[in-house]
Amino acid sequence: MTCASPALTLDQHTRPLGVLRLSLTARCNLACPYCCPDSVDPPVMLTLEQQLRLIRVAARLGVHTLRLTGGEPLLSDRLMPLLAGVADGRRTPGDPLAGLRDVALTTNGVLLSEQRAKALKKTGLDRITVSLDAVDGAVAARMAGLRGGRIAGEGLVQQVLAGLVAARDAGFNPAAGALKLNAVIQRGVNDDQLIPLAELARSQQMELRLIEYMDVGNRNGWRMDQVLPAELMVQRLAERWPLSPLGRNDGGTARRWRYHDDVSDVGVVASISEPFCGDCNRLRITADGQAFTCLFAAQGTDLNPAMGSDQELEQAIRALWQRRSDRYSEERHCKADPVPRAEMAYLGG
């Protein structure tokens, strides 16, 4: 038996459902001020069976990419059993999970030990994206919300660098896009780390993704003057290393560039200055089963009542996506008053 092609599920702007970002926990072992993670998880969490049901139903509705997030997903004891269940489905003809082209993980890298990286690779994970917002110890500590200043920050950087080495050694090849580095850039806070971060990524032949500081949630005190536009980031890098544009893939978040010396690529995620709502294909589901059709949404849709069967859940997700009309980033400057929004760590970024 072969796996049937997934149904094309379109929203109000004819955007297909393509990417599922599933949060495994709202907790994190760092306290980045732009993210403001929770110290505890929601009281009722999705079970492993429910998570697998969600992923399988989403794949039936057209999802081709699964990204596991947090908080910090390596804190979750559900991660490895979930990956094992997904891997089993991907190997089974006729299972909707066989249609998944990509299974990825976003982590801060602190817990990415040699043993953990090997286990992730063995259990079927395709890609890892590691977040690091500074190379300098003092700046890294500030961006991660660490006490202890430079010394604590230098320790963090060394842990993340060790995690990158562990991931590479485990078979996550940066040259093939299986290992990437993310950095949120905040004007006047860590924008002096652009060149050092690029030097680090280039030394690892790894793609660096630079993310504009975003107005997600209510706790981070976001202001527009703290945003360094992606165009300026690219200009600064190009002054040091000439770049050629590669464009942005349909449904992708990053506009990408290639260094002229072909060492690696760099991408910029410009949801503030250059919104890409027009082909956004991402559905976010939190650790307690709330579905969000936009990173900037005020509230989600509770999927728990529909967890009784695949059919109920499929109907709920299809209906949710078909009525979706979100395009907050394109409309941001037309909004008269700010509205409460869910926090980034809860949503899984």
Question: Which positions ≥6 away from 100 have C-beta within 8 Å?
Answer: 55, 59, 63, 64, 65, 66, 86, 89, 90
Q: How many domains does the chain have?
A: 1
Residue 174 lies in a domain: yes
Is residue 331 over pLDDT 80?
no
Residue 246 belongs to what domain range?
Answer: 19-347
Residue 279 lies in a domain: yes
Residue 163 lies in a domain: yes
Q: Is there a cis peptide before residue 71, judged by omega within 30 degrees of 0?
A: yes
What CATH number corresponds to the domain at position 341? 3.20.20.70
pTM for the structure as a whole: 0.94
Residue 1 lies in a domain: no
What pLDDT, on the 0 to 100 scale, is given for residue 343?
A: 80
- Residues 286-324 have pLDDT tens digits of 999 999 999 988 889 999 999 999 999 999 999 999 999
Separation of alpha carbons 291 and 278, rounded Å: 20
Is residue 231 over pLDDT 80?
yes
Check if the beta carbon of residue 195 is closer than 8 Å to that of residue 253. no
- Residues 143-202 have pLDDT tens digits of 999 999 999 999 999 999 999 999 999 999 999 999 999 999 999 999 999 999 999 999
Residue 87 lies in a domain: yes
Query: Mean per-residue pLDDT for 212-238?
Result: 89
Write the DSSP assignment of 163-218 as a string of letters.
Answer: HHHHHHHTT--GGGTSEEEEEEEBTTTTGGGHHHHHHHHHHTT-EEEEEE----SS
Per-position b or e across 6-37, b if 16+ CB within 10 A of its CB: beebebeeebbbbbbbbbbbbbbebebebbbb
What pLDDT, on the 0 to 100 scale, is given for residue 35?
A: 84
Residue 2 lies in a domain: no
Residue 13 lies in a domain: no
Closest-CA residue to 312 (of 89, 51, 54): 54
Residue 8 lies in a domain: no
